[in-house]
Structure 1
């Protein structure tokens, strides 16, 4: 969520979106399938309106919480698309809870204003990074669903999501592959065009180090799966590790700068 200011309208819109997510999560078991879908759709639309609202401001902001808010919205968008292909996919309640938490977090920490002299290409670079976050977050959600389905199979119980385990595995690694491509493009753009984007050449800071470690982890995971057939718990642990490193790369470093140190740069 990019909030230009803490205006009453932006607060009301964000609170309405968070409330819609909360209702969708809390009442999902008591609502009919159509009502639950409509409640989540309303929350998704309000969340999108919050994001668009921020883009019209004179002083747009960005930071760790807005990045998480956009990531949550992208994951919900991908979930909505997947539900059309796999109606038995069941992750509505947890995604709704994550959406509500992300919106409230971005209200509390709206980020720092983007510099007026920032490059016109900076929004594209940030969009690549956020899309990368969204794809890996979707991979993490699918890995969690895959682990849950595997546990149900071991316990001789029917998986609640109803999606075959191999299908979940394929979906997980498709998201990992797509996220890895965007992560590679984002890192290359940052290093090759850092001076044009940020006013300085690429440098070895915490964000660069954690991003590179994440890239190495995902590269090893995809190579291991391709060459040695890695799968199951070990592959999922590597996915979680890579996602955690990537989370630390931007969200973690910005959290320390904005909240712990109270600095914008």
Structure 2
């Protein structure tokens, strides 16, 4: 019997192949593939695709992406979560913010970059769906995860706006059409609004984890890579906001601090879970 089992599954548990095999259901894969294709169309076509067609393709991709996330949390048994689903949810939130802002600022131009990002993260989350969520976890755990992912999304939106700022500055130096994108001051103001909102949610996430860690995860607060990087990112964003309000930080120096804080935050959960799930093949 033991020999037959080994022949049926020659890959040892914990390997990359073992993680991919039980990933999404066929329906989940179908949704993910449809969303990735819908994202790939505007990403590959670029400016050659008309504005109306691009908007339609992105709306379809956004809807399919949301269906993928909903199916992963509700349709799959048991639901899973990990570094790739966290990235997928973050990208979906950024696209949601972009869709709202496009109604207020039609001149915003980031759809091709975001479409390419969406295609990548949807497929990545299907290949690496993460570990099953334990049924014995606290009922407050989804709220804690929601706060964390929302802060990821807001900081990611701030990074996207910072990238648009850098592009606007290059256009100004090259004497490009000043009406080809959003005004630089508007982008800067939006960037720091997203940073402030993300900082508030990150603070709430860290407080919840520190005060109620035992109820949420079944263990008390402990110093691990996730906690250390999260606190370092919190300090970085606090310095950025303090420098902005007290010393008027702006431009490239402020953006470097933003990028540094975002990278630390990315390493906190996504980076640590990537190492555990993919490099080490562990579940916790």
TM-score interval, normalised by the smaller of the two chains: over 0.9
**Bigger Rg over Cα:** 2
| Contact 1:257-1:264 at 8 Å conserved across structures | yes
State TM-score, norm by structure 1.
Answer: 0.97
* Cα deviation 1:150-187 (Å, max 9, x = unaligned): 11112222257521100000000000000000000000
State the partner residue of 1:86. Answer: 105
| Contact 2:107-2:182 at 8 Å conserved across structures | yes
Deviating 4+ runs (over 4 angstroms): none
Q: Which blocks of at least 5 consecutive residues in structure 1 are unaligned?
A: none
Q: Does 1:215 align with 2:234?
A: yes
Q: Does 1:230 align with 2:249?
A: yes
> Helix, strand or coil for the counterpart of 1:184?
helix
State the partner residue of 2:6. Answer: none
| Contact 2:24-2:72 at 8 Å conserved across structures | no
State the partner residue of 1:54. Answer: 72
| Contact 1:16-1:46 at 8 Å conserved across structures | yes
State the partner residue of 1:146. Answer: 165
Residues in 1 aligned to 2:187 and 2:131: alpha-carbon distance in whole angstroms: 38
Residues in 2 aligned to 1:40 and 1:14: alpha-carbon distance in whole angstroms: 14
Residues in 2 aligned to 1:231 and 1:161: alpha-carbon distance in whole angstroms: 22
> Helix, strand or coil for the counterpart of 2:46?
coil
Q: Which blocks of at least 5 consecutive residues in structure 2 are unaligned?
A: 1-21
* Cα deviation 1:105-124 (Å, max 9, x = unaligned): 11111100011100000000
State the partner residue of 1:133. Answer: 152
| Contact 1:210-1:246 at 8 Å conserved across structures | yes
- Taking only aligned residues, the RMSD between alpha carbons, in angstroms, comes to 1.1
Task: Report the count of equivalent residues.
Answer: 262
> Helix, strand or coil for the counterpart of 2:42?
helix
State TM-score, norm by structure 2.
Answer: 0.90
Which residue, 37, 41, 46 being the options, matches 1:19?
37
Which residue, 197, 200, 223 being the options, matches 2:219?
200
